[in-house]
Amino acid sequence: MVIKVLGSGCANCKKLEENTRKATLELGIEATIEKVTDFKDIAAYGVMKTPALVVDEKVKLMGRVPSTEEIKKYL
C-alpha cells in the first residue's frame, strides 16, 4: 500500500502524516508513506485544499486533518 500526504509541510500536513503513521501501526499495515510538497504534483490529483490523503493513487480526503480512527477507515 502506498499512502501519500499532500501539502506544503505546514503544521496540519505534519499532523496528518503523524496520524496516518499511527493508524498504520495500530492496524499492522505495511505501507509506504510519502510526502508530496510540489504544488504541480498536488494539483495533478485534483486537490485544491491541503492537507490531503491519497491511498493507492485515490484521493480519500482533503482540506482537513482527520483523526487516527477516521484514517483507519480509509486504509
Please list the active-site residues. Answer: 10, 13
Task: Give the other-Cβ count within 10 Å of 30's Cβ.
Answer: 6
CB proximity list for 68: less than 8 A, separation 6 or greater? 19, 22, 23, 26
Torsion sign across C-alpha atoms 54, 14, 35, 32: negative
User: Please, are residues 4 and 61 in contact by the beta-carbon 8 Å criterion?
Assistant: no
